[in-house]
Amino acid sequence: MIHPTAIIEKGAEIDDTVEVGAYAIISGAARIGSGCRIGAHAQLYGRLEIGPESSIGPAAIIGGDPQDLTFDNTLESGVRIGSGNDLREQVTVHRSTVGGGWTEIGNDNCLMAGSHVGHDVTIGNRNVIANNCLLAGYVRIANNVFLGGGSAFHQFVHVGELSITQGNSAISKDIPPYCIASQLNNLSGLNVVGMRRAGIEPETRSEIKRAYRAAFLSDMPLGLALDKIQQQQWGEAACHFIDALANPSRKGTCFPSIRRKTRKP
pLDDT of 250 over the 50 cut: yes
Query: 75 with 58: CB under 8 angstroms?
Result: no
Catalytic residue among 39, 118, 120, 194: 120
**Ranges assigned E (strand) in 45-107:** 47-50, 55-56, 61-64, 78-81, 86-87, 92-94, 102-105
Range list for CATH 1.20.1180 in the chain: 200-256
pLDDT for res 133? 98
pLDDT for res 260? 43
Query: 20 with 3: CB under 8 angstroms?
Result: yes
Is 94 annotated as catalytic?
A: no
**Distance separating alpha carbons of residues 91 and 38, to the nearest angstrom:** 12
**What is the dotted CATH code of the domain comprising 7-194?**
2.160.10.10
Is 158 annotated as catalytic?
A: no
Tens digit of each residue's pLDDT (9 = 90 or more) over 9-30: 999 999 999 999 999 999 999 9
**Distance separating alpha carbons of residues 71 and 75, to the nearest angstrom:** 8
Share of the chain above pLDDT 70, in %: 97
What average pLDDT does range 34-58 have in this prediction? Answer: 98
pLDDT for res 265? 35
**Distance separating alpha carbons of residues 246 and 243, to the nearest angstrom:** 5
What average pLDDT does range 147-161 have in this prediction? Answer: 98
Tens digit of each residue's pLDDT (9 = 90 or more) over 82-109: 999 999 999 999 999 999 999 999 999 9
Is 137 annotated as catalytic?
A: yes
Range list for CATH 2.160.10.10 in the chain: 7-194
**What is the dotted CATH code of the domain comprising 200-256?**
1.20.1180
What average pLDDT does range 251-259 have in this prediction? Answer: 87
**Distance separating alpha carbons of residues 109 and 90, to the nearest angstrom:** 16
**Distance separating alpha carbons of residues 66 and 69, to the nearest angstrom:** 9
pLDDT for res 259? 54
Contacts 24+ apart (CB under 8 A), 34-39: 38/6, 39/89
Q: Which helix (H) or strand (E) holds 197?
A: helix 192-197
Catalytic residue among 46, 114, 137, 148: 137
pLDDT for res 261? 41
Catalytic residue among 116, 119, 158, 240: 119
**How many CB atoms within 10 Å of residue 100?**
10
Beta bridge mates, 122? 104, 140
CA 64 to chain centre: 18
DSSP designation for 253: B
